[in-house]
Amino acid sequence: MDEWRSQARLSAPLWFELIQDINRGAVALLTALGPAKGSDRELVAAAMFGRALQSFEATVILAERGMLADAGSLARNIVESAVFLGGLALIDDFPKRMAESNNAHFFGMAKAIAERMEEHGAQEDLAAAEELRELLQSVKDQGFARFNINLRDLAKEVGMDPLYEVVYRTLSGDAAHPSLTSIERHFGRNDSGQVERLIFSPQRDGMEKVLSAAICAFLAALGALGVVFPRDDIMVMIETFNARHHALGSPAPSAE
């Protein structure tokens, strides 16, 4: 595996050089942001950028090991973080929206557990379900808002719909979802196009496409971060890395 990883990196040296520079710059930036403790917007944005950076690093780790579908799924996470950073950058009450989305998530989960216990549980489960129902009613009575955030709608609201429609949808169909497109990489075809074998091994073809999508999404996240933290070095990073990305003849459509 180590040999395969080394060969994968050697086959695309400029790509991995760019990725390394982006990662080093982002890590240095993350430690220098200094969000104000009293600002939900800045605190959440810094943490969300850290989430995007971690997904970026994980995408590269999997891609260089030939696990391209899983790398693509993680690259899709970068898009999600970028869109949420866009919300933090452009929507005044977005931290509140995120709290309401969190309420909706756990409220729905608790409701489903209660229903499951009531339908299939033993007597002690019914008592636990009743307690859970009382807790949910208490949440309602106290007026905790519940609001599910739709990623596509949010992307449109903050002007990131090209990133969603091009990069996110491509990664969804090609990697994250169990679609026909995503399993095509496991089919070995003959010259007439007929499937003649199944492939379960590290894969090199399409690696640059996944890396390009990850870079595109991460630069979008960096751009949104630059609105929350208006630092000159962020704009310099975006311009420099964006130019180098395009100079590589990026095979993935750009939406940053």
Question: Would you mind telling me the total number of residues written for the chain in this entry?
Answer: 256
CB atoms within 10 A of CB 17: 13
- Please state, in angstroms and rounded to a whole number, the distance separating the CA atoms of residues 106 and 117: 16
Q: What average pLDDT does range 142-158 have in this prediction?
A: 91
CA angle 51, 208, 241 (to 5 degrees): 60
The chain-wide mean pLDDT, for the chain, equals: 91
Q: What average pLDDT does range 93-118 have in this prediction?
A: 89
> Model's pTM, two decimal places?
0.87
Residue 8 near residue 64, CB atoms below 8 Å: yes
- In this prediction, residue 182 carries a pLDDT of 82
Look at 111 and 80; give whichever has higher pLDDT: 80
pLDDT digits (tens, 9 = 90+) for 202-238: 888 889 999 999 999 999 999 999 999 999 999 999 9
Banded pLDDT at 255 (limits 50, 70, 90): very low
Banded pLDDT at 250 (limits 50, 70, 90): low
User: CA 105, 107, 113, 118: dihedral to nearest 10 degrees?
Assistant: -150
- In this prediction, residue 127 carries a pLDDT of 81
pLDDT at 254 over 50: no
Q: How is 166-189 classified by DSSP, letter by letter?
A: IIIHHHIIIIIS--HHHHGGGEEE
- In this prediction, residue 12 carries a pLDDT of 94
Banded pLDDT at 133 (limits 50, 70, 90): confident
